[in-house]
Amino acid sequence: MLELNSICKTFNPGTINAKTALNSLSLSIKEGDFVTVIGGNGAGKSTMLNAVAGVFEVDSGTIKIDGADVTRLSEHKRAVFLGRVFQDPMMGTAPTMSIEENLALALRRGQKRGLKWGITNDERELYREKLATLGLGLETRLSDKVGLLSGGQRQALTLLMASLKAPKLLLLDEHTAALDPKTAAKVLELSDEIVSASNLTTMMVTHNMRDAIAHGNRLIMLDAGRVVVDVSGEEKKRLTVTDLLDLFSKASGSSEANDAMLLG
């Protein structure tokens, strides 16, 4: 489904601030995989997701989604394939537009937008149904501005928007990091439900090792812009946080398995 072939990205090349974020990173993900991605700060987790989403062009290497080479495709064109949820709850929705307008934008992801009405009445019924599955009471607030919602509600809505039109690949970029523990757990639970309901191929970046172990069927760890640990199936199920920390020290050749990674 997703194939990253030795992609490289250096920010601010040739300057004193030059930072190699992706160092010849290769990764192949099968259809239906739910991959959790962990790594220390600056390991390249978000950069990898942004490279897939086309926020910037990679310096070298190729990116294929569902067989199509998207390496040079602009961000809005790649949106056809992708559902995205960001770390910042403000990022995934348009605050000055209503809940239904946001959903209508998401329903038309990757379609040509012409002079037909932006929302139709049939759609509203669909939105009500889908919102009800979130269990947040949003189904009665279709015309409320998204700016009125809490961070957790917005992330839940963004999740719904990302999956409304089933994407080839769902990208969750630390989407619970900015939420309180209880809300984070709820949003994670929703993510699991949505992913399994449509059997979505998913990449989820997280700072939390326990979440990374508990969710998905495959776990990769990045360090210095490349994949250093890749476990899946039974092996992943048996993983513990201590195992992960050991793997990390071995892979990165340093013993500073930092607490930040553990606590997230």
Partner 1 sequence: MNFFVSLLNSLPGAVAQGLVWGIMAVGVYVTYKILDVADLTVDGSLCTGGAVCVIMILNGSPMWLALLCAFLAGLAAGFVTGVFHTFFGIPAILSGILTQLALYSINLHIMGFGTDNGSKANLPISVDKFPLLVSARYVRDLAIKNPILVLLIFLAVIIGICYWFFGTELGCSLRATGANSKMARAQGINTNFTTVLGLMISNGIVALSGALLSQYQGFADINMGRGAIVIGLAAVIIGEVLFSKVFRNFALKLIACVIGAVIYYLVIQFVLKLGLSTDDLKLLTALVVAIFLAIPHLRSKYFGKGAKKRA
**Which positions touch partner 1 (CB under 8 A)?**
53, 74-77, 79-80, 82, 84, 86, 90-97, 101, 104-106, 108-111, 113-119, 161
Longest distance between any two alpha carbons in the chain, whole Å: 59
CB of 145 to partner 1, least distance (A): 10
- Given the complex with partner 1, which of 86 and 248 has the nearer CB atom? 86
Residue 199 and residue 220: Cα distance in Å, rounded?
Answer: 20
CB of 248 to partner 1, least distance (A): 31
Neighbouring residues of 30: CB distance < 8 A, sequence distance ≥ 6: 1, 201
Q: What angle do CA 25, 30, 35 make, to 5 degrees?
A: 65
CB of 254 to partner 1, least distance (A): 35
- Given the complex with partner 1, which of 95 and 135 has the nearer CB atom? 95
CB of 95 to partner 1, least distance (A): 6
- Given the complex with partner 1, which of 187 and 221 has the nearer CB atom? 187
CB of 191 to partner 1, least distance (A): 17
69 sits in which H/E element: strand 68-69
- Given the complex with partner 1, which of 33 and 101 has the nearer CB atom? 101
Phi, psi at 239, each rounded to 5°: -60, 145
Residue 62 and residue 69: Cα distance in Å, rounded?
Answer: 7
Neighbouring residues of 189: CB distance < 8 A, sequence distance ≥ 6: none
- Given the complex with partner 1, which of 143 and 258 has the nearer CB atom? 143
Residue 217 and residue 231: Cα distance in Å, rounded?
Answer: 9
Query: Strands 218-223 and 226-232: what pairing?
Result: antiparallel
CB of 112 to partner 1, least distance (A): 8
- Given the complex with partner 1, which of 79 and 214 has the nearer CB atom? 79
- Given the complex with partner 1, which of 113 and 182 has the nearer CB atom? 113
CA-atom Rg of the chain in angstroms: 19
DSSP state for residue 97 in the 8-state scheme: S
Q: What angle do CA 193, 198, 200 make, to 5 degrees?
A: 90
CB of 40 to partner 1, least distance (A): 25
